[in-house]
Each structure stands twice: as structure tokens, then as C-alpha cells.
């Protein structure tokens, strides 16, 4: 069903752990405006303060929201923005597939796309795929940059220590979240909450570790941008 056909909806909001409460309020206001326009009855307003990298089914209120539409208590799940629902192509695909099979809808207000149509589903999958592609590109660039740094250091008789043991996608995530304004402490909290192991296999991340990674990547990026001195 599309937005106009829905009658009862579940409103779902999400912020990251370091975002302010007004992020939730802004999302709530957008959903309530849409509810008034379309004539929806909002039967529940649910919100999580959790990393967007966590699958919807693993979020406390996200799993509850999915359960309500799956049980037929509401016609659709409504989110203000696409990244509030998911940042993962596989997770988003599972949500859409479940909605299609079980007869409930997913309404995303920004961008305003009907997820029940083939074109709408394609556009949303492309948007999420592009976001994941950007994260992979960041990882590949930083890997190339570190290679340049190590080669220069080796030529100069320097030792930069052990190669990085942190996966490229995790480094890309740290860089992306830092560029979005998230603090090192908040990034560390989210990585710990998402059960991402450290380079040593530990369960808990420290903000000092995140800061060290950001500093190293900044040096590596500079190495790509500044030509090596002629010898």
C-alpha cells in the first residue's frame, strides 16, 4: 500500500547516541504533519538512540515497530528520513521484502518515494547502495594512502609499526561519522554497542583509539595529496 492508502501507522524515529533530543522531535513533527495531511492514525511513536549501522530488528524500539506492523496492528511503518530506517542495503532489502510478503507498507518522507512501487524500491536501493559505495571508497583511499606512507617511510629508513588490523569498512565508518560531526567518544560508544571488536579483539573501544585512527588517516590522506620530495 502507498502513503495515501494507509490508515494506521507506526511512527519510528532514531538518533545516534551523540545527537540531541531535538533530532527526535524534528522527525516526530515531520511524521505528524504527514499524518495530518494523509489522515493517518498514529498508533505508536517509537524511538531509538542507537547507531544507524545497527539492523532494525536489533534495535529495542525498532524491533517493536516491526513487530506491530507484522502483527497487523498498523498498515505501515513511517520514518522521516531514509537513514533513520537503515544504512544497510541487506537490512533495507529484508525490511522491504517482509513488507511485500506480509502486506504492510514502508513510508519514507525524505526522499518522498513510494516504496511499494517497483520504481520507488529501485530508487531507495540505489540511494543506500551509493552510501555504502562511498564508505568503501573511503576505505580504499585510506588503504592506498597508508601504502604510500609506508613506502616513503621504508625508503627513509623509518618504521611506522605494525600494519593496521582494523578492517577497512570500520575505518571508513569512523571517518564518515567523524565527518558528520560525531565526537571520538560517541564513535567509540557506538562501536562498542554494535559489538565491533578492536584491533586486539577487545569488546570495548576507547575514544583515544578512535582519535589515533583519525590522526593516522589524516596523515595518510596528506601523503596522497603532497608529492614526495625529489631525491
Burial of 4 (0-12, 13-18, 19+ CB in 10 A): exposed
CA distance 209 to 72: 45
CA distance 76 to 119: 19
| Alpha-carbon separation of residue 225 from 142, 148, 228 (angstroms) | 12, 11, 9
Under DSSP, is residue 53 helix (H, G, I), strand (E, B) or coil?
coil
Q: Which pTM was predicted?
A: 0.57
Active-site amino acid positions: 16
Domain boundaries, given as residue ranges, for the chain = 8-116, 131-225
Q: Are strands 105-110 and 113-114 parallel, antiparallel or unpaired?
A: antiparallel
With a cut of 50, say whether residue 229 has pLDDT above it.
no
With a cut of 70, say whether residue 1 has pLDDT above it.
no
pLDDT band at 43, cuts 50/70/90? very high
With a cut of 60, say whether residue 185 has pLDDT above it.
yes
With a cut of 70, say whether residue 214 has pLDDT above it.
yes
- Percentage of the chain surpassing pLDDT 90? 24
Torsion region of 150: left, alpha or beta (phi above 0 gives left; psi -120 to 50 gives alpha): alpha
Question: Residues 6 or more apart from 195 whose CB is under 8 A from it?
Answer: 203
- Percentage of the chain surpassing pLDDT 70? 67
CA distance 79 to 31: 7
Cell 596528506 appears where? 222
The mean pLDDT of 103-127, rounded to a whole number, is 74
Domain 8-116, classified CATH 3.40.50.720, yes or no: no
Instruction: Name the average pLDDT for the chain.
Output: 78
Return the top range by mean pLDDT from 2-11, 44-53, 120-129, 193-202.
Answer: 44-53
Amino acid at each position: 500500500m502507498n502513503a495515501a492508502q494507509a490508515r494506521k501507522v507506526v511512527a519510528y524515529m532514531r538518533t545516534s547516541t551523540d545527537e540531541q533530543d531535538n533530532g527526535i522531535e524534528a522527525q516526530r513533527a515531520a511524521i505528524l504533519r504527514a499524518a495530518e495531511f494523509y489522515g493517518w492514525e498514529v498508533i505508536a511513536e517509537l524511538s531509538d538512540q542507537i547507531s544507524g549501522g545497527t539492523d532494525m530488528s536489533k534495535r529495542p524500539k525498532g524491533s517493536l515497530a516491526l513487530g506491530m506492523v507484522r502483527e497487523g496492528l498498523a498498515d505501515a511503518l513511517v520514518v522521516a528520513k531514509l537513514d533513520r530506517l537503515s544504512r544497510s542495503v541487506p537490512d533495507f532489502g529484508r525490511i522491504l521484502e517482509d513488507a511485500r510478503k506480509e502486506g504492510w507498507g514502508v513510508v519514507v518522507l525524505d526522499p518522498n518515494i513510494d516504496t511499494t512501487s517497483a520504481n520507488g524500491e529501485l530508487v531507495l536501493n540505489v540511494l543506500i547502495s551509493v552510501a555504502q559505495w562511498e564508505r568503501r571508497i573511503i576505505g580504499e583511499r585510506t588503504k592506498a594512502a597508508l601504502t604510500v606512507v609506508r613506502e616513503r617511510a621504508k625508503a627513509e629508513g623509518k618504521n611506522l609499526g605494525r600494519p593496521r588490523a582494523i578492517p577497512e569498512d570500520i575505518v571508513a565508518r569512523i571517518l564518515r561519522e567523524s565527518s558528520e560531526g560525531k565526537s571520538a567518544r560517541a564513535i567509540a560508544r557506538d562501536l562498542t554497542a554494535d559489538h565491533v571488536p578492536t584491533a586486539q579483539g577487545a569488546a570495548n573501544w576507547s575514544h583515544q583509539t578512535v582519535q589515533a585512527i583519525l590522526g593516522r588517516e589524516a596523515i595518510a590522506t596528506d601523503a596522497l595529496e603532497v608529492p614526495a620530495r625529489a631525491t
